[in-house]
Amino acid sequence: MSSREIQPETRLPAAPVSDPAARAGGVLTVDLDAVAWNYRRLREELNGVACAAVVKANAYGLGVDRVAPVLARAGADSFFVATIDEALALRPILDAAGFPGAAIHALNGPLPGTEADLLAFGVTPVLNTLEEVDRWAALARSRGRALSAALQLDTGMSRLGLPDEEIAALAEAPERLRGIDPALILTHLACADTPAHPENAMQLARLRAALERLPGAPVSLANSSGIFLGRAYHFDLARPGVALYGVNPTPGQPSPMRPVVRLRGRVLQVRQIDAHRGVGYGAAFRAAGLTRVATVAAGYADGYTRHLSNAGRVAFKGQLLPVIGRVSMDSVTVDVTALGRDAIGAGDFVDLIGDGHDVDAVAAEAGTIGYEVLTSLGARYHRIYRGDDG
Ligand SMILES: *Cc1c(COP(=O)(O)O)cnc(C)c1O
């Protein structure tokens, strides 16, 4: 092809005409029916206790605009996000889906200067400090009406929520809550994915002791894994996130959840190399013998973490194949020698996640957790949403 033939038209087209899936290096499929199934499965485990949905970080990377309406239709009427911007973005999504009354909680608290937006968008702030309690109560008094808020207690995680001394101070001076309609008291488990960990029972005891001293309100403790710690951990409202998206909330045991994500990467090129040839940056892999190498179009810029260098595996028609060499920004190299000659070529897809090699398996290979694999999923993948036609 001569260079003259690939000059752009003098007038640019309004949009590309090729199929976006044909242009993408990776295709990410999100199974919305599986998200709804997982929500119902958690409800079953909760046996009548209410179940919120945590959709922070763009629904753990899967697309909050698609995922939140599915969860609302499955029965969730209470949502949690981390930041104020996430809360403000969620309100019109739920409105448009026909759920204007759903509760939206912003876990990171009400930052100064954001009050008008929180009120206008009907966001329930999670108050994490006495300063935030005082500020929200003062706002309520200045508006001349009760304002709802959730109160987070620190029962052992030392991350967010009123620490012991602030719980005590509030118990001594409950009038500081005047003007606040306490919609929820919550705390978060540090070790819920390890049922035998003594910290679980300690946090439960600290929560119970704090509740004795505070005004009555519905109580929320369990995240995904916490739901599987049993009835004592359920209280009035559970707050699962990651299990909705197919990550196993019971590590070491068979997953009760359905996989939600499939990520396929396109093979760009296959080559055969001789013994001793290096593969990738740093020549961090050297072929021991004749080796066939497939280059797949996803790299660390797509969230396919560099920690998978010489450690990850991909699946092709149910067969696992090792990642060799370092993960590059835009590609990763895979040893496909075990496949028959010509069994794989340019244009074929391998499963980076899926086909029996799930998010948890990829996370283990990368030395991280399913949460991080999902929330790192990049923006360059072509995304396909399956199921739930709304
Ligand atoms: C993220 C988060 C959750 C959800 O946790 P999962 O482990 O994803 O179920 C619940 N509560 C709080 C406070 C959180 O930060």
Please tell me which residue in 56, 233, 300, 371 is annotated as part of the active site: 56
* Per-residue pLDDT at 349: 98
Q: In angstroms, how far is the first alpha carbon of the chain from the final one?
A: 47
* Per-residue pLDDT at 2: 55
Q: Cα of 40 to ligand 1 centre, how many Å?
A: 18
Q: Whose CA is nearest to atom 1 of ligand 1?
A: 241
* Per-residue pLDDT at 247: 98
**Whole-prediction pTM value?**
0.96
**10-residue averages of pLDDT along the chain (390 residues):** 65 89 95 98 98 98 98 98 98 98 97 95 98 97 96 97 98 97 98 98 98 97 98 98 98 97 98 98 97 98 98 97 98 97 96 95 98 97 89
Number of DSSP helices (H) and strands (E) in the chain, helices first: 12, 19
Q: Exposure pattern of 354-382 as b/e (b: 16+ CB <10 Å)?
A: bbebbbbbbbebbeebbbbbbbebbebbb
Please tell me which residue in 60, 233, 281, 381 is annotated as part of the active site: 281
56 is catalytic: yes
Residues 54, 220 contacting (CB under 8 angstroms):
no
* Per-residue pLDDT at 126: 98
User: Which atom of ligand 1 approaches the CA of 223 most closely?
Assistant: 9
Q: Cα of 311 to ligand 1 centre, how many Å?
A: 29
Q: Cα of 317 to ligand 1 centre, how many Å?
A: 35
Q: Cα of 269 to ligand 1 centre, how many Å?
A: 41
Select from 41, 46, 55, 80 the residue to mutate for testing ligand 1; criterion: most ligand atoms less than 8 Å from CB: 80
DSSP string over 170-197: HHH-GGGGTTEEEEEEE---SSTTSTT-
Within 13 Å, how many C-alpha atoms sit on residue 159's CB side? Answer: 7
281 is catalytic: yes
